């Protein structure tokens, strides 16, 4: 019996399948989709019949490259207001930590986020998500963390989930109530963490969060508080993530690894011991060069140690109003290479395969593999490294999400 015709087939293209230790390149490849999934991928020469006999729709790409849809695995795109005033203060010499300790920083975004309606937050988030999507992003992670009370944290997560109803983009959510101590709990971090923990089972029932996140830092929560949160979250079956070792080494990455976290993020100050613990746990190191750049930090994350110990590295925008107002994942890839000396191959793995791992969705996303979601980013470039090379130039030619073309 003749096989059913595939929905679509891309030919005359080169593929980054991500199916080996590098980029899994197939020159002169072909890839086919059926419904929402990839149904065939391989060298063009191995197609069993001529394209017209195989697929209803055929795209001849004339030598373009196809990568998996990009994944931005760390964002805070749902938030109210901006922090342009704080940007000015920093340019006049105030540091990020000084501003935070004086009640600004995250807390000023908390005020703006609490004051915003769901509709306002959604409208602003959609603009940011659209900017990411225009550069080939098909999956984003979105954190709460600017509500800092039950009602407003839920408001942020609901808005994050709502994005999928307005844009063809997949959203994974993280509950970041442990982002900083809100004013109402001033001087009582322990009390605040207890109030966050109290709500975890209700959060689980509501299905609003795919992971629990926290900020382990002098200006946020200490390791003991984070550990208490992780213990409870783990019992309820949540995936874990952690903002760790961004401004100092509190051993946050090691702590995240001990609890089997999907990822530890930032990591500028992580020790070799923490890196080894991450390797053992299989936690992903999420590298956030946008925050390093925007805060004009000087301590670079231990990239060589991650490499040496085999810790998978992801790259993300960390899009947020305070430390990384960056809506470009391509720019983040460039910064990972120029500022941290990651290779373009590492950067591309970092926004595909390893970003999927950091979100716990590698069964369905992050590579061009039969059975995975048909998320294809099609690029008018001469080689994959071009994606890390350009600054402010977008070579996206076509974007397919779950089998549907959304940018052409």
Known binding-site residue numbers for N-formimidoyl-L-glutamate: 146, 320, 322
| Residue whose CB is less far from ligand NIG, 215 or 230 | 215
Residue of the chain from 243, 357, 365, 372 that contacts ligand NIG (CB under 6 A): 243
Positions 121 through 160 that interact with Fe ion (CB under 5 A): none
Q: How many CB atoms lie within 10 A of CB 190?
A: 15
| Residue whose CB is less far from ligand NIG, 65 or 340 | 340
Which of these ranges, 54-62, 272-280, 316-324, 395-403, lies near Fe ion under the rule CB under 5 A?
316-324
Q: Distance between CA 325 and CA 345 in Å, rounded? A: 25
Q: Is 245 in the site for ligand NIG (CB under 6 A)?
A: no
Which listed option, ligand NIG, Fe ion, none, makes contact with residue 332 (CB within 5 to 8 Å by class)?
Answer: none
For ligand NIG, the nearest residue by Cβ is 322
- Minimum CB separation from ligand NIG for residue 127, in Å? 18
The length of the chain, given as a count of residues: 408
Binding site per annotation, positions for 4-imidazolone-5-propanoate: 83, 146, 179, 246, 323
| DSSP-derived secondary structure for 46-104 | G-SS-HHHHEEEEEEEEEEEEEEPEEE--B----SS--HHHHHHHHTT--HHHHHHTT-
Strand ranges for 91-210 from DSSP E: 137-143, 170-178
Q: Distance between CA 46 and CA 44 in Å, rounded? A: 5
Which listed option, Fe ion, ligand NIG, none, makes contact with residue 154 (CB within 5 to 8 Å by class)?
Answer: none
- Minimum CB separation from Fe ion for residue 214, in Å? 11
Strands 211-216 and 239-244: parallel
Q: Count Cβ atoms within 10 A of the Cβ of residue 82 and give its class: 0-12 exposed, 13-18 middle, 19 or more buried.
A: middle
| Residue whose CB is less far from ligand NIG, 178 or 381 | 178
Q: Is 242 in the site for ligand NIG (CB under 6 A)?
A: no
- Minimum CB separation from ligand NIG for residue 320, in Å? 5
Which listed option, Fe ion, ligand NIG, none, makes contact with residue 263 (CB within 5 to 8 Å by class)?
Answer: none
Positions 318 through 377 that interact with ligand NIG (CB under 6 A): 318, 320-324
Q: Distance between CA 67 and CA 73 in Å, rounded? A: 17
Positions 59 through 118 that interact with ligand NIG (CB under 6 A): 105-106, 109
CB 224, CB 255: distance < 8 Å: no
Q: Is 318 in the site for Fe ion (CB under 5 A)?
A: yes
Q: How many residues at the interface with ligand NIG, by CB under 6 A?
A: 13
The secondary structure of residue 221, as a DSSP letter, is B
- Sheet architecture: strand order including 263-266: 70-72, 137-143, 170-178, 211-216, 239-244, 263-266, 284-287, 313-315
Residues making contact with Fe ion (CB under 5 A): 318
Residues making contact with ligand NIG (CB under 6 A): 105-106, 109, 215, 243, 246, 291, 318, 320-324
């Amino acid at each position: 019996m003749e096989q059913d015709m595939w929905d679509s087939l891309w030919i005359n293209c080169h593929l980054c399948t991500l199916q080996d230790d590098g980029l899994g390149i197939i020159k002169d490849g072909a890839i086919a989709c059926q419904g929402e999934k990839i149904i065939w991928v391989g060298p063009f020469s191995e197609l069993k019949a001529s394209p017209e006999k195989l697929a209803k729709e055929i795209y001849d790409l004339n030598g373009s490259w196809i990568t998996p849809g990009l994944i931005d695995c760390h964002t805070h795109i749902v938030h109210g207001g901006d922090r342009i005033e704080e940007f000015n203060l920093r340019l006049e010499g105030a540091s990020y930590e000084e501003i935070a300790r004086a009640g600004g920083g995250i807390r000023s975004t908390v005020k703006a986020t609490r004051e915003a309606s769901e509709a306002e937050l959604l409208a602003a988030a959609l603009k940011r998500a659209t900017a990411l999507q225009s550069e080939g992003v098909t999956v984003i992670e979105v954190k709460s963390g600017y509500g800092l009370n039950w009602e407003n944290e839920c408001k942020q997560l609901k808005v994050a989930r709502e994005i999928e109803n307005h844009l063809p983009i997949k959203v994974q959510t993280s509950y970041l109530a442990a982002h900083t101590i809100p004013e109402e709990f001033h001087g009582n971090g322990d009390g605040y963490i207890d109030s966050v923990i109290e709500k975890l089972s209700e959060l689980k029932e509501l299905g609003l969060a795919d992971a629990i996140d926290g900020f382990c830092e002098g200006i946020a929560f200490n390791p003991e508080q984070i550990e208490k949160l992780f213990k409870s979250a783990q019992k309820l079956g949540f995936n874990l993530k952690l903002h760790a070792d961004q401004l100092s080494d509190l051993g946050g990455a090691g702590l995240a690894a001990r609890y089997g976290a999907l990822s530890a993020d930032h990591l500028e100050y992580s020790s070799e011991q923490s890196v080894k613990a991450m390797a053992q746990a299989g936690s992903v190191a999420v590298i956030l060069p946008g925050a390093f750049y925007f805060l004009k930090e000087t301590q670079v994350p231990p990239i060589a140690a991650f490499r040496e110990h085999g810790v998978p590295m992801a790259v993300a925008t960390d899009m947020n109003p305070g430390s990384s107002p960056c809506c470009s994942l391509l720019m983040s890839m460039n910064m990972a290479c120029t500022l941290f000396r990651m290779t373009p191959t590492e950067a591309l793995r970092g926004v595909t395969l390893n970003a999927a791992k950091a979100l716990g969705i590698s069964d369905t996303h992050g590579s061009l593999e039969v059975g995975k979601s048909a998320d294809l980013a099609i690029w008018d470039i001469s080689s994959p490294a071009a994606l890390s090379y350009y600054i402010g130039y977008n070579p996206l030619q076509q974007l397919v999400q779950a089998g549907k073309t959304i940018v052409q």
